[in-house]
Amino acid sequence: MTTVQQQETLALNGDEAVALAAKQSDVDVVAAYPITPQTIIVERFSEYVADGEVETEFVCTESEHSALTACLAASATGVRTFTATASAGLALMHEILYVTSGCRAPVVMAITNRALSAPINIHCDHSDSMAERDSSWIQLYVENSQEAYDTIIQAFRIAEHTKVLLPIMVCLDAFFLSHTLENVKTLPDKKVKDFVGTRQIPLVMGHEGKKVPFKLDPKNPITIGPLALQDYYFEHKRQQEEAMRNASGIISEINDLYSQLSGRKYGNGLTDPYFLEDADIATICVGSTAGTTKYVVDNLRSRGIKAGLLRLRTLRPLPTSDIVSALASTKAVAVMDRSHSFGGYGGPLFHEIRHVLYDTQPHPHVVNYIYGLGGRDMPQNDIQDIYIDLQKIQQNNAVENYVNFVRVRE
Amino acid sequence: MSERKKGWKEIPVGGVCWKPATEYSTGDWRTFKPVHDSEKCTKCLLCPIICPDASINWNTATQDIEFNYNFCKGCGICANECPANAIEMVREGEA
């Protein structure tokens, strides 16, 4: 048991907190496309490189597609790799997201959640990362800049864990977090470096019939991710599913270990329940909206209303049993989606939560609120209105509208 | 191709090749196979150079070319390009 480390409080925006965490995590290679929709994350990191504060190889590429390709290639040689993107940049990486996870390259990528065009919009919206839900990347969503800092540090250990070896997206809300100054407690460089440690390389069976390190190395040549057709492709995908299942435990374990160092803990690493033990009504969300919602829950609780919040920190792997147990006492829950599946039945989080609750008996009424697209504010009054709707659903034991659009003008 | 295929728990992660390409006979993809007429062949050795799969070799003992049917996919480029028309493509199983 280590004692909690003395820490320095700095005024940082979310981008700077992420850049500092990456710097302290002793990253070997950063590749990025530096133009809109890029954020201050790689801008700040390039300054560390220019000022000689890090020994990182910084590769300025001609597109996000190339940036992630460079990260994948670097990661395949066994080094620690980081990048950041947002919105259209993530969309352009789509093809290589699958190559990265398929090659089991533990790249850590910060995603500043921004809307997708058209119309052009650079503000907070989860459409970019939700669209990449099925790419076999671990997805962690943070509530504030402090958590962004902490989660980037944890992400390297999770991704590089030899039972996981999957890339990670650490998603933070654009502007609400990325461009807003916040007090962030930061650990000493050495403590972070020691916590993250050096990347462990497992052994794999190579083509010469002997076990060799799983990295591209001229001394022990291997081929990573070539052709696998009808006979073997499926087996490789099943391996990725297993790695995701392993990741659940590892995320929790590293959340615990990190709390011993920093004194900060985010639920069990997967879900972050707030006043759910006896809650009748609850909302479910990811990201910074949870902060405002906690304030609303506090107010409702002070008036004797049994309200709660389930913040999902990990979307992939989906913490199914934690979601079921966290919502066990609820009668009506509202899933809040900052993105939408057009023509579907509500937003992506709604699909996940409703699906997970299907087998529980009795299960609560589950309704959906699409909110804040393109960065529109989600003030406390609007969140409180959702809880009032939930009270009505609980009282009437009936739902009027399953899918609702918050404050959209007609 | 009757070998037992490995399961997901057995194969290396990341699609790492666990056996060399020389053990993966791509010759069974073939529909037509090249057969050469040693009498017509002028031993110009154009075919070993143009074969995209390096499946035509010069046999120093027989002083003749020979096909490596383990890797020849039957593309037919050799038969098409042979200046002496000494290579014929024959449907598998018919010769």
Mutation target vs B (from A100, A163, A236; most B CBs, 10 A cutoff): A236
B50: left (phi over 0), alpha (psi -120 to 50) or beta: alpha
Taking contacts as CB-CB distances below 8 angstroms, the residues of chain A near B7 are 235
CB-based contact A271:A381 (threshold 8 Å): no
Answer whether residue A115 shows pLDDT above 90.
yes
Structural domains in chain B plus CATH codes = 33-91 (3.30.70.20)
Structural domains in chain A plus CATH codes = 8-202+226-262 (3.40.50.970), 271-405 (3.40.50.920)
Can you give the pTM of this predicted structure? 0.91
Answer whether residue A154 shows pLDDT above 90.
yes
Segment A206-216, tens digit of pLDDT: 998 899 999 99
Answer whether residue A78 shows pLDDT above 90.
yes
Identity at B79, one-letter amino acid code:
A
**Closest by alpha carbon to A27, among A71, A73, A79?**
A79
CB-based contact A387:A274 (threshold 8 Å): no
Strand residue runs (E) in A138-258? 138-141, 168-173, 182-186, 203-205, 211-213
C-alpha B60/C-alpha B65 separation (Å) is: 9
Q: How confident is the model at residue B2 (pLDDT cuts 50, 70, 90)?
A: low
Q: What is the dihedral of CA A190, A192, A193, A196, to 10 degrees?
A: 160
List residues in chain B touching A: CB distance below 8 A: 5-8, 11-21
Inter-chain residue contact B12 with A204, CB threshold 8 Å: yes
Taking contacts as CB-CB distances below 8 angstroms, the residues of chain A near B11 are 232, 235-236, 239
> pLDDT > 90: what percent of chain A?
96
Q: How confident is the model at residue A61 (pLDDT cuts 50, 70, 90)?
A: very high
Inter-chain residue contact B14 with A214, CB threshold 8 Å: yes
Inter-chain residue contact B6 with A206, CB threshold 8 Å: no
> For residue A31, what is the enclosing H or E element?
strand A29-32
Q: How confident is the model at residue B19 (pLDDT cuts 50, 70, 90)?
A: confident
CB-based contact A331:A281 (threshold 8 Å): yes
Average pLDDT, integer, range B42-49: 96
| pLDDT score at B55 | 96
φ, ψ dihedrals at A329, nearest 5°: -90, -10
Mean residue pLDDT across chain A: 97
Q: What number is the ipTM of this complex?
A: 0.90
b/e A184-211 (16+ beta carbons within 10 angstroms → b): bbbbeeebbeebbeebeeeebbbbeeee
DSSP SS3 for A148: helix
Segment B68-87, tens digit of pLDDT: 999 999 999 999 999 999 99
C-alpha A187/C-alpha A318 separation (Å) is: 29
Answer whether residue A1 shows pLDDT above 80.
no
The shortest C-alpha distance from A191 to chain B (Å) reads: 32
> pLDDT > 70: what percent of chain A?
100
Average pLDDT, integer, range A48-69: 97
| pLDDT score at A336 | 98
Answer whether residue A236 shows pLDDT above 60.
yes
Inter-chain residue contact B16 with A102, CB threshold 8 Å: no
C-alpha A186/C-alpha A24 separation (Å) is: 10
Task: Give the residue on B whose Cα is nearest the Cα of A230.
Answer: B5
| pLDDT score at A165 | 98
